[in-house]
A and B are shown apart, each in its own frame.
Chain A
Amino acid sequence: MNEEKLMKDSDRGQERRQGEDRRKVVIDPQDIPFPDRRKGDRRKKDRRLYSEEEQQEILKRIKEDKAED
């Protein structure tokens, strides 16, 4: 790596160190217009195509009919 590039990299690092540490900035989830991934909101979503309730309803009806058959 040449000397010019080393200087450039270290200058940029210097600027960054002088600024505020972004890792400490607290964001209120209410202020963001999308689900906060860090809170696991997206993971909490029910993404199943059908619920147990639906499954029971469908299969129960069918089994009742089979029993009568």
Chain B
Amino acid sequence: MIKQRDYSSWVTQSPLSELDPKKKIFAVASGKGGTGKSTFAINLSLALATLGHEVILVDADLGGADLSNLLSINSPRYTMQDFIQGEVTYLSEVLETTPSPNLRLILGGSDIISISNPYYQQKMKLIRNISQLEADYVIVDLGPDISFNNLDFFNAAPIGYLVTHNVDTIIMGFYRFLKAAFVRRLKQEFKDDPFIMNIINDFQNKGWNRSRKNLVHSIRAASREVHDQLDELLESFQPRLVFNMVKSNSAKQTADQMFSFILQNFGFRLQTAGFLPRDDEVEKAYARGEPYILRYPKGNTTKAIFELLVSSGLNYTKDNRQVTNFSGFNKLLKIEAQNWQFLKI
């Protein structure tokens, strides 16, 4: 195994300790497929479950659900499809268990095309039910596209992670998602104010290119009240960037450039949550349908996930004991891995 450099000094995210304990819902998006979004969502979920927290991982990639494959869980009893189609009343009824006692799943159903495009009311019902799930953490794995479904799920979650690579097309995909989510968030915030809605629509109609700095300036100039409302929105809209497949220091530069570009043009702060190294072992685990973090508890990416937990203040067990070093976390992972029978083969 190649020794990995320590990326912890590159991280700029603020701790999540002040987050409402009832609303620990994290959305994981990307704006482009194949970035490692689902792998990150699984590893983050298992890391929190290993610390003793009750975690629910939701596969909200409505048109391309595949978490069951990634975790080698065959023939689920129920999927989200049963909830959307009204076969069951509550979303909690479709929860699937996993070998990890603290991790449960809500799997998406992808064999019916209508589930990919739920009606607005169905989508809102789904979002409402996700927020009512009883767990310490709910991790929502989203689809790769910029559909309204993904944007709305992303904006509904108190914390949104965006997974990207340091590759031009993927960076632009991430930027496209971020911009669309921000403008949609603005529209949700000011939907009852026709004057502000006019400003936003006007910018969109004249080309999204113009929905940059001037958009925020124009809204801010409308009135003192709107100015304050916008500042509050900008303060709360702080997506967290996760750089995956990192090979060199240039990822840090890209993260810094994106931070300053977004701040200058849109006025909100893009936090950098973590850097996950390029790691062949992740690909091996992915190919075998095994959870990486349990298969390779001492792996470089496992270490990077632990660093992400530390920098976001999530390195506490359910009974509030702080796990300060990687070796302590490693021991817990090894105990957790014993629940996964196929890992012993």
**A residues less than 8 Å from B253 (CB atoms):** 62, 65-66, 68-69
The secondary-structure label for the interface of chain A is: helix
Besides A54-B212, A65-B250, 11 other CB < 8 A contacts?
Answer: A50-B172, A51-B207, A53-B209, A57-B261, A58-B172, A58-B175, A61-B257, A62-B254, A65-B254, A66-B253, A69-B250
Given A61-B261, A62-B171, answer yes or no on A46-B209 (Cβ-Cβ < 8 Å): yes
**A residues less than 8 Å from B258 (CB atoms):** 58
**B residues less than 8 Å from A59 (CB atoms):** 168, 171-172
CA distance A47 to B253 in the complex (A): 30
A45→B257 contact, CB < 8 A = no
Say which residue of A47, A49, A66 sits within 8 Å of B176 (CB atoms). A49
**B residues less than 8 Å from A50 (CB atoms):** 172, 175-176, 179, 208-209
**B residues less than 8 Å from A14 (CB atoms):** none
CA distance A54 to B205 in the complex (A): 17
Q: Does A10 contact B (CB under 8 A)?
A: no
CA distance A45 to B212 in the complex (A): 17
**B residues less than 8 Å from A18 (CB atoms):** none
| A-B Cβ contacts below 8 A, count | 60
Q: Does B124 contact A (CB under 8 A)?
A: no
Q: Does B230 contact A (CB under 8 A)?
A: no
B31's closest neighbor in chain A, by CB? A49
Size category of the binding interface on chain A: 10 to 19
Given A62-B254, A66-B253, A69-B249, answer yes or no on A46-B208 (Cβ-Cβ < 8 Å): yes
**B residues less than 8 Å from A65 (CB atoms):** 250, 253-254, 256-257
**B residues less than 8 Å from A47 (CB atoms):** 208
**A residues less than 8 Å from B208 (CB atoms):** 46-51
CA distance A40 to B324 in the complex (A): 62
**B residues less than 8 Å from A61 (CB atoms):** 257, 261
A-B contact pairs, 11 of them (CB 8 A): A49-B146, A49-B176, A51-B209, A54-B212, A58-B257, A59-B171, A62-B171, A65-B254, A65-B257, A66-B250, A69-B248
CA distance A59 to B261 in the complex (A): 11
A9 to chain B, nearest CB (A): 38
* Per-position 1/0 for A17-60, Cβ under 8 A of B: 00000000000000000000000000001111111011101110
B84 to chain A, nearest CB (A): 28
CA distance A47 to B176 in the complex (A): 12
CA distance A54 to B213 in the complex (A): 12
Given A55-B172, A62-B171, answer yes or no on A49-B179 (Cβ-Cβ < 8 Å): yes
**A residues less than 8 Å from B285 (CB atoms):** none
CA distance A28 to B168 in the complex (A): 46
**B residues less than 8 Å from A62 (CB atoms):** 168, 171, 250, 253-254, 257
**B residues less than 8 Å from A48 (CB atoms):** 207-209
Q: Sorted from nearest, which 10 A-B pairs have the closest CB atoms?
A: A51-B209, A46-B207, A65-B253, A66-B250, A49-B176, A61-B257, A69-B250, A62-B254, A49-B208, A62-B257
CA distance A45 to B210 in the complex (A): 13
CA distance A65 to B248 in the complex (A): 12
Residue among A51, A53, A68 with the highest chain B CB neighbour number at 10 A: A51
A48's closest neighbor in chain B, by CB? B208
CA distance A55 to B180 in the complex (A): 15
CA distance A66 to B208 in the complex (A): 28
